[in-house]
């Protein structure tokens, strides 16, 4: 299990674990099993960067630095997938054409526009929250999104042949025990950091998962690695939008001692 966890951190972050452990290639087929756990690291880096930066910089700049910190830690892996996803689904008319476009390393207009809108929404949503609430949102949203996105292997098959994959890997489905582990790691920050009324922020991410996977099923009859990256980021963004919406609409009723 520890080697599989190491494989997930090696793939989803820049941690140089390859220098201290050797992970069999087959273990990388279980990357999504521990995806939510890697979110604890990437979320912590963002939240810590945000909190410390906000002590001596305007909050708007601190949010940018928090976003950049995760991009540096993850090599913009999921953001690359988001751009490829929108390029493919925006510019491709058939399954074959969509898959070809998504595999192309060049970014098109759909991908660039998608990234601009995504980062604007991300920045403005976090910036609209009080600092402590924003940090808690980051700590909860990243693992939650990765847990929900990891369930894609239950909903869709892989859309390519294994040898046609960018990383030559098709993810294995999770066992019942691993699903429980992933659910705990994905949901625990939300449960511990937020009072129950904020748990309703899970609704929009779940709807986002259902809607996007339905679109993937219709257009390419499956998923790819780029689809996973896009799914994760859009689910995460929908969570932040939900938190901001709940706070804005209910105001002091939802601003509990948790955030004082």
| Phi then psi dihedrals of residue 223, to 5 deg | -135, 165
Convert the pLDDT of each residue in 10-31 to its tens digit: 999 988 877 788 888 788 888 8
Of 126, 122, 140, 134, residue with least CA distance to 36: 140
Report whether pLDDT(190) > 80: yes
pLDDT at 168: 60
pLDDT at 11: 92
Report the run of H or E that residue 253 belongs to, with start and end.
none
Judging by beta carbons within 10 Å of its beta carbon (0-12, 13-18, 19+), is residue 33 exposed, middle or buried? Answer: buried
| Phi then psi dihedrals of residue 256, to 5 deg | -90, 175
pLDDT at 173: 87
Convert the pLDDT of each residue in 104-142 to its tens digit: 777 889 999 999 999 999 999 999 999 999 999 999 999
And the tokens for 243? 């938190």
How many distinct structural domains can be found in the chain?
1
pLDDT at 254: 55
The domain of 225 spans 2-259
Report whether pLDDT(201) > 80: yes
Give strand pairing partners of 223.
Answer: 158
* 52-74 mean pLDDT: 97
Report whether pLDDT(255) > 90: no
Contacts of 76 (CB under 8 A, 6+ apart): none
Of 215, 191, 84, 202, residue with least CA distance to 145: 202
pLDDT at 160: 75
Convert the pLDDT of each residue in 224-235 to its tens digit: 999 999 999 999
pTM: 0.93
* 134-153 mean pLDDT: 96
Of 17, 168, 176, 177, residue with least CA distance to 7: 17
* 229-246 mean pLDDT: 96
For residue 198, what is the DSSP state?
A: G
């Amino acid at each position: 299990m520890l080697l599989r966890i190491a494989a997930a951190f090696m793939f989803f972050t820049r941690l140089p674990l390859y220098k201290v452990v050797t992970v069999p290639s087959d273990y990388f087929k279980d990357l999504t099993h521990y995806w939510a756990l890697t979110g604890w690291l990437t979320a912590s880096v963002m939240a810590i960067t945000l909190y410390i930066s906000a002590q001596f910089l305007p909050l708007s700049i601190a949010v940018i630095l928090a976003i950049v910190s995760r991009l540096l830690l993850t090599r913009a892996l999921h953001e690359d997938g988001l751009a490829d996803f929108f390029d493919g689904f925006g510019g491709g008319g058939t399954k074959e054409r969509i898959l070809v476009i998504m595999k192309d390393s060049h970014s098109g207009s759909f991908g660039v526009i998608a990234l601009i809108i995504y980062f604007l929404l991300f920045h403005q949503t976090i910036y609209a929250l009080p600092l402590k609430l924003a940090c808690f949102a980051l700590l909860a949203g990243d693992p939650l999104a990765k847990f929900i996105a990891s369930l894609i292997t239950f909903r869709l098959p892989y859309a390519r042949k294994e040898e046609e994959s960018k990383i030559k890997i098709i993810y294995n489905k999770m066992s019942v025990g691993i699903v429980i582990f992933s659910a705990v790691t994905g949901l625990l920050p939300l449960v511990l950091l937020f009072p129950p009324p904020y748990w309703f922020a899970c609704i929009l991410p779940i709807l986002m998962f259902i809607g996007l996977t339905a679109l993937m099923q219709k257009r390419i009859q499956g998923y790819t690695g780029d689809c996973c990256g896009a799914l994760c980021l859009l689910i995460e963004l929908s969570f932040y939008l939900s938190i901001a919406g709940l706070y804005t609409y209910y105001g002091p009723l939802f601003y509990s001692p948790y955030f004082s």
